[in-house]
Amino acid sequence: MPAQNYQKDFASFDGKIWLNAASEGPLPLAADKALAQAVAWKMKPYLLDMGKFVTTVTGLKRSIGRLLGVDEADVILGNSASYGLHLLANGIPWKKGDEILTMQNDFPTNILPWLALEKKGVIVRQIKPKGRVLEPEELRKFVNARTRLLCLSHVHTFSGHVLDVAGFAQICKERGILFVLNLSQSLGAMPVDVGKFSVDAVVSAGYKWLCGPYGTGFCWIKPRLRKSLTLNQAYWAAMLSREDLLEECPLKLKDIQSARRFDVFGTANFFNHVPLKTAIDYWLESGLENVKAYHDTLVDRFIAGLRGSDYELISPEKGEKRSSLIVFSHADRNRNTQIYEILLSRGIYTALWKGNIRVAPHVYNTAQEIDQTVKALREI
């Protein structure tokens, strides 16, 4: 799809410049249209035939399966990235003394779900990286016979670095450690092939780069790991068939081990799941290689624009570690909050995290918007 075609697929932003897909991606027009249909089903419930309860879930899982490069039967619907991490934290049968490794200063989603396990005697280590993000070689000295799980992000929210997934996966494989990866800052911004990653589980939010509705997310858990989960999750709509529902005898808990069992309660959440599928299909049709190539032109342009200015780059300038998240700081870090606010007052929406400014352009942004933002930054 040619670069100049993307903007027509999104609403007009009324002159505002939205450079914060890493927090919230705008709904594509096609997804808005799909949502309107779901709203019509609610306004005229006779339009909501039983089939839609099934096809909404199966259709969305098929799209997510294609997006991730995994079997759709292993996709679990959630409502956030946190959802999948909690399934694992609450479902893995932990033993006292087990160790979980995380990265200090990672997005809290990747750390908080494990901390409650400390009450059970599980040790959670937040490893402080030497640089902006952890490198596989640094991990080695924290691994021991009790290490059970490593949880990291594909792209680091606060520094924009792409982590060396293959390097971490290799160590985890060698040492029999479960590797859980959060894709919230990469899915929708670059091609991701989970089948090639050699990870045990991935989680993602659906409302950032994927531009789905807020309160969406999903995960994929390797079947063997999923089948070992022991948490109490017995949602009637996931557990019982139509025939079961018609039975009059006492209910028995079924030993269902399919991914469906772990779906978030209330999958008939048509307002979210119908437009999320359309948004994901939009990226599948656009081709994430094309999306990434377009992002690269915007990121290159922004970085070139800052060169020789008072700003220093925190995210990588080029190469494989660079993502679509550009993180930078004024030479005088104390000025960043004021700069962020001035940009905001001019209708330029960036993010301020950990004292640094983050710009996250997506396909609806244009080269002119990048130039305007760079110009404003240089003037402030």
Ligand X SMILES: Cc1ncc(COP(=O)(O)O)c(C=O)c1O
Residue type (1 letter), 348: I
Pairwise CA distance, residues 296 & 282, whole Å: 19
Q: Which is nearer to ligand X, 277 or 374 (CB)?
A: 277
- Owner of token pair 């700003």: 311
What's the closest the beta carbon of residue 22 comes to ligand X, in angstroms?
6
User: What DSSP designation does 265 have?
Assistant: S
The residue within the footprint of ligand X, chosen from 102, 157, 186, 278 (CB under 6 A), is: 157
* Residue 280: count of CB within 10 angstroms of its CB: 25
Under the binding rule (CB under 6 A), the answer on residue 107 touching ligand X is yes
Pairwise CA distance, residues 219 & 203, whole Å: 4
* Residue 329: count of CB within 10 angstroms of its CB: 19
Q: Which is nearer to ligand X, 102 or 374 (CB)?
A: 102
What's the closest the beta carbon of residue 299 comes to ligand X, in angstroms?
18
Q: Which is nearer to ligand X, 25 or 217 (CB)?
A: 217
Pairwise CA distance, residues 188 & 28, whole Å: 13
Under the binding rule (CB under 6 A), the answer on residue 109 touching ligand X is yes
Report phi then psi at 144, rounded to 5.
-145, -175
Q: Which is nearer to ligand X, 109 or 365 (CB)?
A: 109
What's the closest the beta carbon of residue 252 comes to ligand X, in angstroms?
34
Least Cα distance to 209 among 3, 27, 42, 4 occurs for: 27
Residues numbered 170 to 199 that lie near ligand X (CB under 6 A) are: 182, 184-185
Residues numbered 296 to 355 that lie near ligand X (CB under 6 A) are: none
Contact stretch for ligand X (CB under 6 A) within 57-65, 74-82, 87-95, 358-366: 74-82
Site string for ligand X, 215-234 (x = CB under 6 A): --x-----------------
Polymer length in residues for the chain: 380
User: What DSSP designation does 371 have?
Assistant: H
Q: Which is nearer to ligand X, 157 or 315 (CB)?
A: 157
Residues numbered 84 to 103 that lie near ligand X (CB under 6 A) are: none
* Residue 36: count of CB within 10 angstroms of its CB: 11
Under the binding rule (CB under 6 A), the answer on residue 80 touching ligand X is yes
The residue within the footprint of ligand X, chosen from 21, 70, 81, 238 (CB under 6 A), is: 81
Under the binding rule (CB under 6 A), the answer on residue 212 touching ligand X is no
Question: Do 361 and 188 meet the contact criterion of CB atoms below 8 Å apart?
Answer: no
Pairwise CA distance, residues 342 & 380, whole Å: 8
Sheet strand arrangement including 99-103 = 75-78, 217-221, 201-205, 178-182, 147-153, 99-103, 123-127
Size of the site for ligand X (CB under 6 A): 12
Under the binding rule (CB under 6 A), the answer on residue 213 touching ligand X is no
Under the binding rule (CB under 6 A), the answer on residue 205 touching ligand X is yes
Site string for ligand X, 114-153 (x = CB under 6 A): ---------------------------------------x
Q: Which is nearer to ligand X, 105 or 153 (CB)?
A: 153
What's the closest the beta carbon of residue 117 comes to ligand X, in angstroms?
18
Helix (H, G, I), strand (E, B) or coil at 22: coil
Pairwise CA distance, residues 75 & 28, whole Å: 23
What's the closest the beta carbon of residue 152 comes to ligand X, in angstroms?
10
Q: State whether the Cα torsion 111-115-121-124 is positive or negative.
A: positive
Under the binding rule (CB under 6 A), the answer on residue 63 touching ligand X is no
What's the closest the beta carbon of residue 353 comes to ligand X, in angstroms?
9
Please report the beta strands in the chain, taking only residues with DSSP state E, as ranges in sequence order. Answer: 17-18, 75-78, 99-103, 123-127, 147-153, 178-182, 201-205, 217-221, 311-313, 326-330, 348-349, 351-353, 356-359
Contact stretch for ligand X (CB under 6 A) within 36-44, 76-84, 231-239, 278-286: 76-84
What's the closest the beta carbon of residue 158 comes to ligand X, in angstroms?
8
Q: Which residues bind ligand X (CB under 6 A)?
A: 80-82, 107, 109, 153, 157, 182, 184-185, 205, 217
